[in-house]
Amino acid sequence: MKKGIECMNELELKYGCNPNQKPSRIYMADGSDLPIRVLNGRPGYINFLDAFNGWQLVKELKKATGLPAATSFKHVSPAGAAVGLPLSDVEKKIYWVDDLEMEFTPLANAYARARGADRMSSFGDFIALSDVCDAATARIIKREVSDGVIAPGYEPEALQILKGKKKGAYNVIEIDEDYVPAPTEVKQVYGVSFEQGRNELKIDDDFFGNIVTASKELPEAAKIDLAIAMITLKYTQSNSVCYVKGGQAIGIGAGQQSRIHCTRLAGSKADNWFLRQSPQVLGLQFADGIGRADRDNSIDLYIGEDYMDVLAEGAWQKIFKVKPEVFTAQEKRAWLDQMRDVALGSDAFFPFGDNIERAHRSGVKYVAQPGGSVRDDNVIAACDKYGMTMCFTGIRLFHH
């Protein structure tokens, strides 16, 4: 822990996963000091689960890409993850940061992208940042509905901004970036202790060397996107699938029992991300006083299948200044057909080619998965059908 930071062996929490689960605490079983300090607020049990998983994710993303990284966590799975590449004007608009008159730092870009890709899922998130939180990043965080943030440090101005959230109750955690956990991790379920070695798998360029498709094209940008996908999956509740484009996760399907349902769920989120960039959505005129969360909900409604019901009931006046034209299924499909060069990662093998068929509909060109299915040939054939590049990593990434 950094010099001058007060340390403690344990921290009492308000309650566990639910208010009836008391007592609750986090502590170091070996008697050493906790690697964190609470600078503001009173984080809870789930907050710390999100914080520690999120911190591991962004630390690995930074190491793998060399870029500042951020993630938006909800219920022990990431809703979004990204590295600090510049935001386009369209991205600034769909992430509701185009009105901020400030210089966007790489870390601010990373969080805006992590939060913005799936804004409905990120609502009320816990944030993890790979780098010291700067004022620009804190300004974006301040305007969002969020439970807290963990980072290796905070600039003085950033800390003051964050302390002003939630009437002074916003959770701000500082973590020792030099902390190294024990190589073995232990947890209890129903009074029974489970023990396993930590998943210290290193994901880098060599991870994607075994290309099994006819197409061998795998540019550096695609390798970065695949690394983001696989590192994100490493900290996502399994089964899980992740779509990535341009340095950010655009669709994460977590905790599904069926692989195809992971692929469909994540694909629908990726589709929504791209549909939000369409002229139809960018041209929406919202009623005065509509906040960002309500705008997000309204956009989701507009691009969904229930908008005709809203038109029929005349409820659109509460949302929009001008009645929007219906965004037809044919128009949506035509727009989605322009989405290309998406990367897709899976935490375990694809058992059937139907996953590739669904991925193709969301512009996937690059795929990484462990391989090892008895139907690998069917999955490879599906990739070859669409000119996709797929690599077998040979390693499963289940997380529970």
Residues with a known catalytic role: 74-75, 239, 400
Q: What are phi and psi of 128, to 5 degrees?
A: -125, 135
Q: Which residues lie below 8 Å from residue 156, measured CB to CB, with a gap of 6+?
A: none
Amino acid letter, 303 = I
Q: How far is CA 212 from CA 31, 129, 189, 382, in A?
A: 49, 35, 40, 12
- What is the spatial distance between Cα 360 and Cα 217, in angstroms, rounded to a whole number? 17
Distance between CA atoms of 108 and 110, rounded to whole angstroms? Answer: 5
CB 122 within 8 A of CB 115: yes
Q: Is the dihedral of CA 211, 217, 220, 225 positive or negative?
A: negative
Long-range CB pairs of 59-63, under 8 A, 24+ apart, other chains included: 59/130, 59/177, 60/203, 60/231, 60/234, 61/130, 61/227, 61/228, 61/231, 62/130, 62/131
Q: How far apart are CA 4 and CA 147, in angstroms?
A: 26
Report which of 260, 267, 298, 269 is spatially closest to residue 121, judged by C-alpha positions: 269
DSSP state of 10: E
> In angstroms, rounded to a whole number, what is the distance separating the alpha carbons of residues 319 and 288?
9
Question: Minimal CA–CA distance to 40: which of 161, 175, 173?
Answer: 173
Q: Rounded distance, CA 371 to CA 373, Å?
A: 6
Total H helices, total E strands in the chain: 14, 15
Give residue 334's identity as a one-letter amino acid code: A
> What is the number of residues in the chain?
400
